[in-house]
Structure 1
Amino acid sequence: MTVDSENELREYSIVERRLEVNDVAGIPLSKTFQSIVVEAGGYENLNFDERSCRNFISKARRLRLGNGDAEAFCQYFNRMQSRCLNFYYLYDLDEESRIKNVFWADGRCRAAYEYFSDVITFDTTYLTNRYDMPFAPFVGVNHHGQSILLGCGLLSSEDSESFIWLFKAWLSCMHGRAPKAIITNQCRSMTIAIEKVFPNTNHRFCLWHIMKKLPTKLAAHAQYKSIKKALKNIVYNSITIEQCERNWMKMIEKFELEDNDWLNSLHVQRSKWILVYVKCHFWAGMSTSQRSESMNAFCDDFVHSKTTLKQFVEQYDRALKKNIEKEKKLDFQSFNSTIPIVSGYSLERQFQSVYTNDIFKLFQNEVT
């Protein structure tokens, strides 16, 4: 191999790394390729074209399976289907028949969705395995206010194409019945996929994910503490949309934030996250983050960042069984114990007879 050939291979390896990193970061391939062209001084100085880059990205977006992982998937899915005909799974394959994405839901998930399809949360930020593949659970809330799994997937990429495939797989699994509302983090790719697959579903962003960015986005400002206080007041205490708008404009003018791109983008999308805008829809008591945090607890005892896919499918079953046992315990408590009323109102007695203990406690807090 000549020196020139070695240099070309080395340069292309650097380009491949850049393409993959930018793809994961959500930067369109066309923009990445144009920047490479500019750096090279023109198309004539490249020994590859945009099509070859696109083919590379397509191959990079498949699941990188280790030894025994593919067999573990097949064995797990076959075992589950032999136990329950309602078990559902689907693979997304690339042009060489290699797995890119996968979705599955057991019979219990599908049955629970019949009752608890009003609101779901979808969050890929919590768990990735040793191959950096996002775990993508669909989470609902049951009659105890407890987080329940309504299906899940493993993705090779967090782009709109992968999310569209996953949402369509989940929708097919649930007999075409879309949720009434969905909560996600602030992700453009997810938003595109939701608008395409769930066009009639109310969509809001996770408030916790947005508010936790305050230090990163605004801490450098000399009046950060005052800005933070003003923004929290707008988000949590606005009574009307008019009041929210008025106070937002005051904050922007007072602290000279007209050129802050982050706040400007949040204002454009205000109907998806500020409480006064979303309060007209039913959210099953979910403000946002507590469901993701509950799923953290659901997974923590069983899987972690070093878990292989083979271990994942084995431990996932154990985690599900733990959650089922917890629900059965709460069912038993609600059927065999009664929480005393505090007001004496007939309305409270009525809800005492129909609510589970955990939900009745929430109602009682409001009565008190």
Structure 2
Amino acid sequence: MTFKDETKLFDFYKQYAYAVGFSVRKRNSKKGNDGVVRFVTFTCSRECRRSSNTNSALRPQPTSQTHCKARISASTYSHGTWRINTVNLQHNHKTSPLKSRLFWCNLELSANVKRKLELNDIAKILLHKSFNFVVVEVGGYENMTRVEKDCRNYIEQVRQLRLGEGDAAALQSYFSHIQARCSGFYFAMYLDDESRLRTVFWADNRCRQAYKEFGNVVTFDTTYLTNKYDMPFAPFVGVNHHGQSTLLGCGLLSNENTSSFVWLFRTWL
């Protein structure tokens, strides 16, 4: 069998694993001389047998690893096409199709479910009622790949991203007004695909001049949650010649993931 890319290949194996009743993971991959991945292996998640660091018979280490050999391997050829080379469908443990929806590789909310949860939250519908509505729509709990707690966590994350009507525009207008009065004032705003504010950074002329003099040591802390949107406040702080803290710039983050930090650090520099 051939596939257009590695993602299509993995999705196919996940669908097969879902029907049979086991969890899958990426075992390894190899790159060619050009740095592009050319070979990949996907296996049953119970492939490896973990070694124990204790010799006590009274404290056995529970493990679900059985050294299962079920796997597929594939290579990429011309035009990026992937072809399956080897297949092993034999498991040395019992599989359970009824539990497939709870395996970690299947724990995800579909775009349709996410959208309905968001719309219901905006309409002030209680989450447990919204979750029950989704359960009915997908045909029962056995078809749900997430539990109510996962839906609650997702909605809490969305609420952090959701500003009130006009808030983002008001913030941009305010910063533009300050920038017109103070030429050294700098700000930048990062929006997601739906034009929602994800990250914002600003620094006035005093912060920028302070960095020139006291930029040898910089601390960065995101433990402050002092606003109604629960967006972490992220100050860049230096130390002046009196041993006092001096502000070098400020940011607000919708979440603390890699892309947000990369954008904030690059913008600050």
Asked if TM exceeds 0.5, the reply is: no
Greater RCO, CA 8 A, separation 6+: 1
- With normalisation by structure 2, the TM-score equals 0.43
- Structure (1 or 2) with the greater strand fraction: 2
Q: Which of the two has greater helix per residue? A: 1
